[in-house]
């Protein structure tokens, strides 16, 4: 089959790779009809996530048709149309039983590697490094889906791929970011990063009853998209964000802040940016946490900072004094996608949201390398690329 493979930093290539096969009794094989490039794929492309190997099949946002099932797959049949969540979860371990699917204890065969880096291992993730399982991803014609009786959600009605594809990751991820903010009526929520996840966090915060949402980014087309969802916007290259947020909230700060940026944040202040870039290059620090630092410093006393942007390792100059003394609650997670599939599909069906609003480019799988480069360079106002095998 054809698949988009990681070939090294800044290099992906669509190649012939072996077709996936059923390896375990709870596996299914899905013929992919739509897949997408995620902002977090850019962290792989840019070489920020360790334990990638040349030839790894990328992609963790995909959907398609079940073409084969293992003998123990219940609830799914050949011909079913499914969306597949990006974390792989067994459904039966202690974490899964508590709804913590992205930290499933049974789905990462390379847990030992992750334990060295993080203490304990999170779940395996499709197409996202060997530390997270080494699972071939879904930017391909076919994918093997482990624990297929637990993860994939069947789409029985005629909703088009573009409306349901993002249930695999970015819609639930943005939604969970907003949910972690414990929004009550009247709240002001600030969102760092108006990429696809940020856009869904903004829309979700409004659906949960936020009074105002303030989006922070530097690309005008992303800020315009956020405005079209009802957000107020700040361009951090033109504005002192903390001062502006203070002014916009009667001197108090936003009630909650969402970091939808993660490991590769930019910052207009050259000194701080250079400091973190240098440390990152020297491998003293793995992540550059501008957005996170700013979110903590900007949040009101007693507020929540929710992290859904991806971090890989360690950060420096972390404002612990601000967090501790001002009663800030810090939360973060890879999304427990499985929890949200049914309720968010219902939201789509009810017309509360049409997730296709983030799509800026549609391409063939063969053009994935071009898609990655456009998305990285933000060419042609690239916000979200959907690929069709
Ligand atoms: Zn993703
Ligand atoms: Zn589990």
Q: ∠ CA 161-162-164 to the nearest 5 degrees?
A: 65
Mean of pLDDT over the chain: 95
pLDDT in tens, 183-225: 999 999 999 999 999 999 999 999 999 999 999 999 999 999 9
Give the Å distance between the CA of 140 and the centre of ligand 1. Answer: 15
Question: From residue 172, how far is each of 202, 337, 347 by CA, in Å?
Answer: 12, 6, 11
Per-residue pLDDT, 28 = 98
Q: Is the pLDDT of residue 105 over 90?
A: yes
Nearest ligand, measured from the Cα of 139 = 1
Question: From residue 276, how far is each of 10, 279, 288, 300 by CA, in Å?
Answer: 21, 5, 6, 26
Give the Å distance between the CA of 94 and the centre of ligand 2. Answer: 7
DSSP bridge partners of 136: none
What does DSSP say about strands 361-364 and 256-259: parallel, antiparallel, or unpaired?
unpaired
Count of CA atoms in the C-beta half-sphere (13 A) of 287 = 19
Give CA–CA dist 372/32, Å, rounded.
19
Give the Å distance between the CA of 343 and the centre of ligand 1. Answer: 19
Give the Å distance between the CA of 37 and the centre of ligand 1. Answer: 7
The three state secondary structure string of the chain is CEEEEEEECCEEEEEECCCCCCCCCCCEEEEEEEEEECHHHHHHHCCCCCCCCCCEECCCEEEEEEEEECCCCCCCCCCCEEEECCEECCCCCHHHHCCCHHHCCCCCCCHHHHHHHHCCCCCEEECCCCCCCCECCCCECEEEECCCCCCCEECCCCCCHHHHHHHHCHHHHHHHHHHCCCCCCCCEEEEECCCHHHHHHHHHHHHCCCCEEEEEECCHHHHHHHHHCCCEEEECCCCCHHHHHHHHCCCCCCCEEEECCCCECCCCCHHHHHHHHHHHHCCCCCCECHHHHHHHHHCCCCCEEEECCCCCCCCCCCCHHHHHHCCCEEEECCCCHHHHHHHHHHHHHHCCCCHHHHCCEEEEHHHHHHHHHHHHHCHHHCCCEEEEC
Give the Å distance between the CA of 116 and the centre of ligand 2. Answer: 20
Give the Å distance between the CA of 109 and the centre of ligand 1. Answer: 21
Nearest ligand, measured from the Cα of 146 = 2
Residues with CB under 5 A from ligand 2 (ion): 89-90, 93, 96, 104, 106
Give the Å distance between the CA of 85 and the centre of ligand 1. Answer: 10
Per-residue pLDDT, 2 = 98
Nearest ligand, measured from the Cα of 39 = 1
**pLDDT confidence bin for 313, thresholds 50/70/90:** confident
Q: ∠ CA 77-81-86 to the nearest 5 degrees?
A: 100
Give CA–CA dist 150/138, Å, rounded.
18
Per-residue pLDDT, 170 = 98
Give the Å distance between the CA of 70 and the centre of ligand 2. Answer: 18
Closest CA to 383 of 205, 166, 138, 142: 166
Look up the pTM and report it: 0.95
Nearest ligand, measured from the Cα of 101 = 2
Give the Å distance between the CA of 171 and the centre of ligand 1. Answer: 10
Give me the percent of the chain exceeding a pLDDT of 90.
88
Give the Å distance between the CA of 129 and the centre of ligand 1. Answer: 13
Give the Å distance between the CA of 147 and the centre of ligand 2. Answer: 9
Rg (CA), the chain: 20
pLDDT in tens, 241-289: 999 999 999 999 999 999 999 877 776 665 566 767 777 776 666 667 8
Give the Å distance between the CA of 90 and the centre of ligand 1. Answer: 20
Give the Å distance between the CA of 106 and the centre of ligand 2. Answer: 5
Neighbouring CB atoms inside 10 A of 315's CB total: 18
pLDDT in tens, 129-152: 999 999 999 999 999 999 999 999
Give the Å distance between the CA of 72 and the centre of ligand 1. Answer: 28
Give CA–CA dist 217/202, Å, rounded.
13
Give CA–CA dist 213/189, Å, rounded.
5
5 within 8 A of 13, measured Cβ to Cβ: yes
Mean pLDDT of the 30-46 span: 96
Q: Is the pLDDT of residue 157 over 90?
A: no
- Look at the block and give the residue holding tokens 């949910």: 179
Give the Å distance between the CA of 124 and the centre of ligand 2. Answer: 10
Cβ neighbors of 99 (< 8 A, separation 6 or more) are: 336, 338, 339
Give the Å distance between the CA of 149 and the centre of ligand 2. Answer: 12
Per-residue pLDDT, 290 = 87
Nearest ligand, measured from the Cα of 98 = 2
Give the Å distance between the CA of 350 and the centre of ligand 2. Answer: 31
288 within 8 A of 192, measured Cβ to Cβ: no
Nearest ligand, measured from the Cα of 108 = 2
């Amino acid at each position: 089959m054809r698949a988009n493979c990681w070939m090294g930093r800044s290099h992906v290539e669509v190649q012939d790779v072996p077709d996936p096969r059923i390896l375990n009794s709870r596996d299914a094989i899905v013929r992919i009809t739509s897949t997408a490039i995620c902002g977090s794929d850019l962290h792989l492309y840019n070489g920020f996530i360790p334990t990638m190997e040349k030839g790894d099949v990328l992609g963790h946002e995909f959907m398609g048709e079940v073409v084969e099932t293992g003998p123990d797959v219940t609830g799914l049949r050949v011909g079913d149309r499914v969306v597949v969540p990006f974390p792989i979860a067994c459904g039966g371990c202690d974490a899964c039983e508590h709804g913590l699917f992205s930290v499933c204890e049974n789905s990462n065969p390379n847990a030992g590697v992750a334990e060295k880096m993080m203490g304990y291992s999170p779940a395996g993730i499709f197409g996202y490094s060997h530390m997270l399982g080494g699972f071939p991803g879904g930017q391909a014609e076919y994918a093997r889906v482990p624990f297929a009786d637990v993860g994939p959600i069947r789409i029985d009605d005629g909703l088009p791929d573009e409306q349901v594809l993002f249930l695999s990751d970015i819609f639930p991820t943005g939604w969970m970011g907003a949910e972690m903010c414990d929004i009550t009526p009247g709240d002001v929520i600030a969102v760092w990063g108006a990429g696809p996840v940020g856009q869904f966090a903004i829309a979700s915060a409004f659906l949960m009853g936020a009074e105002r949402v303030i989006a922070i980014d530097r690309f005008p087309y992303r800020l315009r998209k956020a405005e079209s969802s009802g957000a107020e916007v700040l361009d951090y290259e033109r504005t002192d964000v903390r001062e502006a947020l203070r002014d916009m909230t009667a001197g108090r700060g936003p009630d909650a802040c969402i970091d939808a940026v993660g490991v590769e944040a930019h910052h207009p202040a050259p000194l701080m940016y250079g400091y973190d870039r240098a440390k990152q290059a020297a491998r003293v620090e793995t992540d550059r946490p501008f957005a996170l630092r700013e979110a903590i410093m900007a949040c009101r006393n007693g507020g929540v900072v929710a992290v859904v942007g991806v971090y890989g390792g360690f950060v420096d100059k972390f404002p612990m004094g601000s967090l501790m003394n001002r009663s800030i609650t810090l939360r973060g997670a890879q999304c427990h996608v499985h929890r949200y599939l049914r309720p968010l599909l219902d939201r789509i069906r009810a017309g509360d949201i049409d997730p296709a609003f983030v799509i800026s480019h549609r391409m063939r799988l063969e053009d994935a390398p071009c898609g990655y480069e456009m998305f990285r360079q933000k060419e042609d106002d690239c916000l979200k690329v959907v690929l069709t095998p």
